[in-house]
Amino acid sequence: MAIRYAVFQNPLQEGQYYPRPVRENTRTLDTLIRNISQKCTLSPADIQAVILAFIQEMIDGLLDGDRITIDGLANFSVRLSQVMTAITDRFDFGQGGQLRVSTTVHPAVTSAIRAQATFEKLNLPARQPLLVNFFDVASQQSGVYTTGSIGQVTGENLKIGDLGAADQGIFFISTPGGSETAVQVIQNNGDRKLVFEIPNGLAGNQRLVVRTRYASTGALRSGELTEPLLPA
C-alpha cells in the first residue's frame, strides 16, 4: 500500500505547489486488533484485553506525572499551561489552566517509514475542500465532538466563499438519518483551518461536510471527513 498524496497550489505564493497526503481510510482499534490477530497466535479478545490494559497503564502513569517511554515507538508526557500572577498560585482548570498530553515519535519509526515508503500521486478532479482532521477542543481529541464546544478542521481549500450564503458553510449530517445542522458561528475562516462553534442538540454519529463556492469557477464544491464523528 502506497502513501497517496496530491499536489496543491500555495495560496500565499503564486507559482508554488506542495504535496499533501490524502488520507482515505482510518484504522480503528478494531481494525488494528483484527490485523494483529492475523500475524500471531493470540485471539482478538486477548489482543484487545492487552491493549486496553496497556492504555490504562499509560493513563495511570501520566496521572502520576511520569513520562511514558515506549522504546522504538514514542514518548508520552503531561504538559501544563496557565497564566499566573504570583509564585504562590496553583494550577486550576477554573483559572484558565490547560492540560495536554505531549507525544514524541521515536526516530526509529520515522526511519523505518522513510526506508519502506512508496508513493502514489492522486490527480484530484476539481478544486474542492479536503478535510484532513477534526479536533474537539473540549475533549482534546480528534474524531469526536462535544456540543457547544469549539471544533477545528484542518485540510486544504477549506475557506468558505460567502459566510452568509445558505448553501455554503460547515454542516453536521446525522448518520443514519441524514438530518442536517448548519454551523452558525465560524470564528476562523481559513484555507487550511476552520474554527467554529459546534451546534447544540447534535446526537449520535455525524458526518462533517464543508461546502463552498470558489471565485474562480462559482461552482458549489463539497468535501467531507472520511469517517463520521462520534459523540465525546
Structure confidence by residue, pLDDT tens digits, 172-196 = 999 887 899 999 999 999 999 999 9
Pairing of strands 3-9, 119-121: parallel
- At 162-175, the pLDDT tens digits run 999 999 999 999 98
∠ CA 152-1-121, nearest 5°, is 65
3-state percent helix, strand, coil for the chain, nearest multiple of 5? 20, 35, 45
What residue ranges do the domains of the chain occupy? 28-116, 130-231
Q: Which fold has domain 28-116?
A: HU Protein; Chain A (4.10.520)
What number does CATH give the domain 130-231?
2.70.50.70
- For residue 25, give the amino acid letter: N
Contacts of 78 (CB under 8 A, 6+ apart): 62, 65, 99, 100, 101, 102
| pLDDT over threshold 80, residue 210 | yes
The pLDDT of residue 98: 93
Helix, strand or coil for residue 115? helix
Q: Is 130-231 in the same CATH topology as 28-116?
A: no
